A and B are shown apart, each in its own frame.
Chain A
Amino acid sequence: MSYIVETVNLSKKFPVLKGYRDIIFHPFRKKEITALHDINIQVKEGDIFGLLGPNGAGKTTLIKILCTLVLPSAGSAYVKGFNVTLDDKSIRRVIGYVISEERSFYWRLSGRQNLKFFAKLNNIPGGESDRRIERLLDFLDLSKDGHRMFKDYSTGMRQKLAIARGLLTDPAILFMDEPSSGLDPVSAHNLKQLVKEKLAGEKKKTVIFATHNLGDAEELCSSIAIIRSGEVGFAGKIEDVKLQFRETKKYMMKLRSPETGPAGKIRNMPQVKRIMPLSNGSSGLTEIEIETGQEDSRIQGFVREIVDMGGEIFSVYEIEPTLEDLFSKIVSTK
């Protein structure tokens, strides 16, 4: 199967700036830091792919390599079949890079003038660029603000303009680096809707974005790669992360305890993590959170025990773990 983006044992080492002592006593000694080590990821066409990891994990370095701004030290990477080291020009024709850095625009030019300038640099002829710019401004609800200087834009508007710039060439792949950073919750929500419904849904773009916001990834991504200290901790579908890394299962159970007081004896059972009395508590109606091993037999055994104790069970359901629940486990697993 061919992938739209693929890396094969991709590694990147950066030289470390030497201090005066090293310059004098070890002028030829090379000091390097490993930013990425043997990265192997595959992204399918049309996917929303999340690069997750804590700060400094190497997400931005990976995106910059794929956008041809940084050369890899070893291994290879292909974007739409083009090699990042040998064919950077072809890659720049098929990608859009949404740089969240608001300083990447010209502040004394209007939003429209900024887009026009970048359209020219992307070989989009005059009439066509005007049409595309108007379509994009309209698409991103910026039409009425297109004439305002960039310096007068809000953070959300700047982010939208960055997306418009990334889409100018109608690229097959859109790279986004921390797209929701600095946005208020409403703008962040709107941005996610935009990525999911308009970019991936309507325009059928492949979107690759780096984030440390796990909620964003869970909401948007079809696949993810979790990077920790320059290495891939996991790559695949979010459901698979949960299957692979979850060691326990969580359930919520609604029951009436046979004893006086909420949950009575049940509270001392090792599987019970939390007890929440329902209504005024005198009815004995209680909700409990249970954590068991992975096997289904464990919860069945627990249910039997409750029934044997005279408990009256109303409902039991499994709680799906969130990516956040598993994230720290993944980044700390060796």
Chain B
Amino acid sequence: MRPVSLIFEKPLAFVWRDIIEDTSYKLSFFMQFVSIFISTAMFYFFSRLLGDTGVSYLKPYGGDYFSFVLIGIAFYSYLGVSMKSLSETIREGQMLGTLEALLVTQTEIPTIIVSSSLYSFIWASFKVAVYLLLGIYAFGVDIGNANLVGAAVVLMLTIISFGSLGIVSASFVMVLKRGDPVSWIFSSVSGLLGGLYYPVSVLPDWLQSLSYLLPVTYALEGMRMAVLKGHSVSELLPNILALTVFSLILLPLSILIFRYAVRKAKKDGSLTQY
């Protein structure tokens, strides 16, 4: 059996590679921090404009729009990363020519794809932390009651279910190269129905029913309840259960689809074409 340190060696090699590459573009690296500050400030002023408007809709989350939207944009970035980074890893590798070099190594394709996106997840987590710290210290958001265990469980299930969708999206890119419908549907529909900028309760009933078919709805709802209201794990159970079901269905399904996509690309000889 391989020692534990060796299991992490390959994913860490990818993270190390991406850190070197990312930090070598110094201005871009710096600008990412600036944009976090700008978007946070923008939503802060937007919430001041709104004032008490719509407070009834926000009551379950503490009544403050800024806190509501801050958690939304912070954790929604995980969906963005899942939908983009996995498929972009493949697309970039195909276009740059690095994918071929990776595929002849003694590393399995799923490890390559997942490890390649690891840095994006770490970076997303770092951005979430910066969003929260800015919210707390610069704009006075109160998360003193946060239930960190509950938030961690929701986060873990969120990453699994979003990541699974990302793997399906990557499968489409593997075969179709461009025009991945999964990413397009989930990114746009989740933004509209998932409760990112406004609570799901403002939607008409029929759209609310549709929103409950999306994992993002449960992820954001659960995260807000855990962070803003301090709900316990048992109180978060409906969201946790829903995310568990999504994870149990999507993860094996995505692996099957991905295997099929790789085999098809190898048959078509298009594994490294773009």
List chain A positions with a Cβ less than 8 A from chain B.
Answer: 12, 14-15, 35, 61, 64, 67-71, 73, 89, 92-93, 95, 97, 99, 101, 103-106, 108-109, 113, 116-118, 120-123, 125-126, 165, 169
Tell whether, in the assembled complex, residue B266 and residue A71 are in contact, meaning their CB atoms are under 8 Å apart: yes
Q: Which of B25, B101, B103, B269 contacts A165 (CB 8 A)?
A: B101
Cα(A126)–Cα(B105), bound, Å: 16
Q: A106-B17, A108-B21 are in contact. Are A61 and B269 (CB under 8 A)?
A: yes
What 0/1 pattern do residues 98 to 113 of B give for CB contact below 8 A with A? 1011111111100010
Contact A89 B106 (CB under 8 A): yes
- CB atoms of A108 and B101 under 8 A apart: no
Cα A105 to Cα B97 with chains together (Å): 8
Judge if B27 is at the interface, Cβ distance under 8 Å.
Answer: no
Residue of B6, B98, B101 with highest tally of chain A CB at under 10 A = B101
Q: Is A122 a contact partner of B105 (Cβ separation < 8 A)?
A: yes
Bound Cα distance A92, B97 (Å): 18
Please, how many angstroms separate the alpha-carbon atoms of A93 and B108 in the complex? 12
* Contact, CB under 8 Å: A99 / B101: yes
* Distance, CA A152 to CA B186, complexed state (A): 41
Collect the chain A residues with CB atoms within 8 Å of residue B16's CB. Answer: 117
For A15, what are the chain B residues with a Cβ–Cβ distance below 8 Å? 268
Chain B interface residue count, CB cutoff 8 Å, equals 30
Chain B interface mostly: helix
Find chain B residues with CB under 8 A from A97 CB.
101, 104
Interface of A, helix, strand, loop or mixed by DSSP? mixed
| B227 interfacial contact with A, CB 8 Å | no
Across-interface contacts of A92 in B (CB, < 8 A):
104-106
Across the interface, B266 reaches (CB within 8 A) one of A69, A95, A99, A109, namely A69
> For B16, B104, B106, which residue has the most chain A Cβ atoms within 10 angstroms?
B104
Question: Nearest Cβ distance between residue B262 and chain A, in whole angstroms?
Answer: 10
Q: How far is the CA of A238 from the CA of B105 in the complex (A)?
A: 33
Contacting residues, chain A, for B229 (C-beta < 8 A): none
Nearest-neighbor residue (CB-CB) of A120 within chain B: B13
B24 within 8 A of A: yes
Please, how many angstroms separate the alpha-carbon atoms of A97 and B268 in the complex? 21
* Residues from chain A with Cβ under 8 Å of B117 in the complex: none
**Chain A residues positioned under 8 Å from B103 (CB to CB):** 69
Please tell me if the beta carbons of B24 and A120 are within 8 angstroms of each other in the complex: no
Closest 4 CB pairs of A and B: A103-B97, A120-B13, A121-B105, A104-B101
Min CB distance, A110 to chain B, in Å? 9
| A126 CA to B6 CA, complexed, in Å | 10
**Complex Cα distance A169/B106, Å?**
10
Q: How far apart are the CA atoms of A99 and B100 in the complex, in Å? A: 8
Contacts of B108 on A, CB cut-off 8 Å?
Answer: 89
Supposing A14-B269, A70-B271, A120-B10 touch, asked if A108 and B20 sit within 8 A by C-beta, the answer is yes
Return the contact of B271 from the options A69, A108, A125 (Cβ within 8 A): A69
Complex Cα distance, B108 from A89, in Å, reads: 8
Q: Does B9 contact A (CB under 8 A)?
A: yes
> Are B6 and A125 in contact (CB-based, < 8 A)?
yes
